[in-house]
Structure 1
Amino acid sequence: MNFPPPLRFLIPALLLLLGIVSTWLDYELDLANDLERDFNDVSIQAEATGVRLAALARQHLALGEIKALSESLSDWQHVPWLSIAAVVDANGRVMACSSAQWEGRSAEDTPAATAWKRAKESSGKIMEAPTLDGGDVIVLAVFPVEVSPQGREKLLLVYDRANAVAHAHQDARQRIAWSAAVIALMCLCLWATLHFGVARRLERLARSVREFGEGRVPSIEPVHGGDEVHELSQAFRKMTQSLADRERERNELERAVIDSAENERRRIGHELHDGIGQQLTAVLMAMNGLHAELQAHAPAHAEHAQHASQSLSETLAEVRALSHGLAPVPLWEQGLEHALQALADATTRSSGVRCVFECPDPVNEISEATACNLYRIAQEAVNNALKHADSAEIRIGLERRKNFLVLEIDDDGCGLPEAPLDGGGIGFRIMQHRTEVMGGRMEHGAPPAGGTRIAVYIPNSP
């Protein structure tokens, strides 16, 4: 895939990325708010519980009821998050505890060790800013019991928030999972809309425009729908119809120009053959008679008459050749095959270059316009081979292949010059134009033996 990727992929991907980032930030913010709210709830409860248990501890210690104090602390284990509640003396020995296993032991060996450490570092109640331990999981609180003015007993409270924190994280993860799933589904729907509703339709329109430009389809296929893509396809369709109409008019005008030029060539050829040619023939016959008479009565002047007669004969031959080039008699009277055979024979006689015509099977039912265009293409290709290719042999081939009438002109010369390849040869362009007028295509290249090959393919030639 090219970079940057198409918009139908890029836009949903960017939205998905932005959605995930925003959801992650929301997850972090919600989690922080939940943890802070939970911590405030625990702190408030620790404050209230500590005040009541401290008062209760003072009453029991004043009466020396240590066992009753332990039972009272045990009764408070149902308080949410409360892990341990212990009363320690000045030396840190646990006097009473909500868990009997820690009674009589040093506070440093119990879960309240950190709370005892904080108690030794400060006097009075320790509930300043949140007292945390274990990464916002354990909340510690210390309250002085103050049984007597000299008493240094303290109440240690440990709140374990592990379950609450775990639930907060789980809830936040569920929220981010649901949010990400919704965002992903929305991005998928957006991609489907862009891909199937816009991109695929634009791709179909672009393919239709490209095929029209290459001449493979007569018009652009409309894209259905009621949006801008449909309107764009309709605009392209109208434009292509207008271009097709103009192209058809241009082809008709060009065909008319070619027909008019061909008719004019034919008229001039006939005038040369039937008019000037006949007059020159009459003059030649008169000159031949004059030469015979002078040879009998004035032999000294007979040689001049012979030279004039010979020059006149050569002029008549040139006029006939010119008239046949402008209006080839075999083409109009005997058909394309005989005209091409005559062209090959005339080329061999006039140039000394061997020119052969090959037609495996008779080619019938060719319109006069098609035959004329094919003959002119062969004539131009042969002339190009004689002028530029320096060839020793030229082949003219005519045959039907499947649904095509194929005309080929091969030579064994030096190859096609650069000018026709670059569109610079006027003769080459005229051959292409004649081929397009017939609705065919022209190819050029080198045959296996080298040289140049011009091939014209006319589909379903009438």
Structure 2
Amino acid sequence: MQQQFQQQLLKSQIETQEETITALGRELHDNVGQLLNSTKMLIGVTQRTITNTPETLTIADETLGKAIHELRGLSKSLSKEWLQQFNLIDNLKNEVNRINAANQIHVNLQVLHVITIASNKQIILFRIIQEALQNAIKHAQAKVIDIKFHQANHVFFINIVDDGIGMPISNAPSNGIGLINMQQRTNLLGGTIQWHADQNGTAVNIQLPIKSLEND
């Protein structure tokens, strides 16, 4: 009963977070987005009234255009429709490409098996993996991170291995908020998560029953 209570509590918390995210996305699009568009329009009007437009004003206009483009992408990613159509593999590929584009860390993604996962659970799983990546980048000082998806005996496995300095004992799941979130989210999916760390790097091993992933 205690476990069921915890699962229901976590589910309610995640639903509340999704509602908050949707509202935030709408606010970014309807309010902040309109303010930025109005500002860009005013810059355009000013440019047309000046014979020799200062380079700083041109750069400001280009920068503002990029900000508006980024904001549109962000607000779209926070919409309820986007959440309902969320695709784990596609978004994970985008995350990997974003990290690799900086040419500081290389992430390898290996998907040996693809299974059907309910959209709301794909989001939870994505957040778990995202947290593992951020830990490897920020704390483990990793240069190479390998992510592997595979399945066996009705169990879905996700392995995230880096070549960093290892995770200190002080960052064990009982002490780190990020790791606690990973643990709770994995529990919500009916699975288990384990960390193995030494001077050669950290391995995060996640096991999830396929049946629990397929059902809403």
TM bin, normalised by shorter chain, reads 0.7 to 0.9
Question: How far apart, CA to CA, are the structure 2 residues paired with 1:385 and 1:320?
Answer: 29
Mapping 1:95-244, distance limit 5 Å: 244=1
Amino acid at match of 2:4: R
> 1:372 and 2:123 equivalent?
yes
> 1:361 and 2:117 equivalent?
no
> 1:452 and 2:189 equivalent?
no
Deviation at 1:276, TM superposition (A): 2.9
Question: How far apart, CA to CA, are the structure 2 residues paired with 1:417 and 1:342?
Answer: 29
- For the 8 Å contact 1:330–1:338, the answer to whether it is kept is no
> 1:306 and 2:62 equivalent?
no
Mapping 1:8-87, distance limit 5 Å: none
- For the 8 Å contact 1:290–1:305, the answer to whether it is kept is no
The Cα RMSD (Å) is 3.1
Going from structure 1 to structure 2, the CA distance change for 1:434 and 1:324 (only over 3 Å counts) comes to farther
- For the 8 Å contact 1:374–1:407, the answer to whether it is kept is no
- For the 8 Å contact 1:330–1:336, the answer to whether it is kept is no
- For the 8 Å contact 1:329–1:339, the answer to whether it is kept is no
Question: How far apart, CA to CA, are the structure 2 residues paired with 1:351 and 1:427?
Answer: 25
Deviation at 1:417, TM superposition (A): 2.2
- For the 8 Å contact 1:330–1:342, the answer to whether it is kept is no
Question: How far apart, CA to CA, are the structure 2 residues paired with 1:274 and 1:401?
Answer: 46
> 1:429 and 2:180 equivalent?
yes
Give 1 or 2 for the bigger CA radius of gyration: 1
Name the SS for the 1:298 alignment partner. coil
Deviation at 1:457, TM superposition (A): 1.0
Name stretches of at least 5 consecutive residues in structure 2 with no aligned partner: none
Question: How far apart, CA to CA, are the structure 1 residues paired with 2:102 and 2:76?
Answer: 14
Question: How far apart, CA to CA, are the structure 1 residues paired with 2:76 and 2:142?
Answer: 24
> 1:267 and 2:23 equivalent?
yes
Q: Paired residue for 1:398?
A: 149
Amino acid at match of 1:405: F
Partner residue of 2:136 out of 385, 389, 397: 385
Bigger fraction of residues in strand: 2
Question: How far apart, CA to CA, are the structure 2 residues paired with 1:257 and 1:328?
Answer: 16
Name the SS for the 1:408 alignment partner. strand
Deviation at 1:435, TM superposition (A): 0.6
> Which protein, 1 or 2, shows the higher relative CO under an 8 Å CA cutoff with sep ≥ 6?
2
Question: How far apart, CA to CA, are the structure 2 residues paired with 1:328 and 1:378?
Answer: 21
- For the 8 Å contact 2:173–2:179, the answer to whether it is kept is no
Q: Paired residue for 1:276?
A: 32
Question: How far apart, CA to CA, are the structure 2 residues paired with 1:352 and 1:281?
Answer: 34
Question: How far apart, CA to CA, are the structure 1 residues paired with 2:207 and 2:76?
Answer: 26
Q: Paired residue for 1:114?
A: none
Name stretches of at least 5 consecutive residues in structure 1 with no aligned partner: 1-243
**Deviation sequence 1:162-188 (CA, Å, 0-9, x none):** xxxxxxxxxxxxxxxxxxxxxxxxxxx
Q: Paired residue for 2:7?
A: 251
Percentage identity across paired residues of the two chains: 26
Deviation at 1:290, TM superposition (A): 4.3
Going from structure 1 to structure 2, the CA distance change for 1:328 and 1:256 (only over 3 Å counts) comes to closer
Q: Paired residue for 1:230?
A: none
Question: How far apart, CA to CA, are the structure 2 residues paired with 1:419 and 1:270?
Answer: 39
Partner residue of 1:336 out of 88, 97, 114: 88
Going from structure 1 to structure 2, the CA distance change for 1:334 and 1:261 (only over 3 Å counts) comes to closer
Question: How far apart, CA to CA, are the structure 2 residues paired with 1:327 and 1:385?
Answer: 29
Deviation at 1:253, TM superposition (A): 1.8
Name the SS for the 1:413 alignment partner. coil
Q: Paired residue for 1:11?
A: none
Going from structure 1 to structure 2, the CA distance change for 1:450 and 1:372 (only over 3 Å counts) comes to same
- For the 8 Å contact 1:412–1:451, the answer to whether it is kept is yes
Q: Paired residue for 2:193?
A: 442
Task: Give the TM-score normalised by the residue count of structure 2.
Answer: 0.81
Q: Paired residue for 1:316?
A: 68
**Deviation sequence 1:211-242 (CA, Å, 0-9, x none):** xxxxxxxxxxxxxxxxxxxxxxxxxxxxxxxx
- For the 8 Å contact 2:36–2:68, the answer to whether it is kept is yes
Question: How far apart, CA to CA, are the structure 1 residues paired with 2:79 and 2:160?
Answer: 21
Deviation at 1:247, TM superposition (A): 3.1
Question: How far apart, CA to CA, are the structure 1 residues paired with 2:25 and 2:103?
Answer: 22
Question: How far apart, CA to CA, are the structure 1 residues paired with 2:82 and 2:147?
Answer: 16
Question: How far apart, CA to CA, are the structure 1 residues paired with 2:24 and 2:35?
Answer: 15
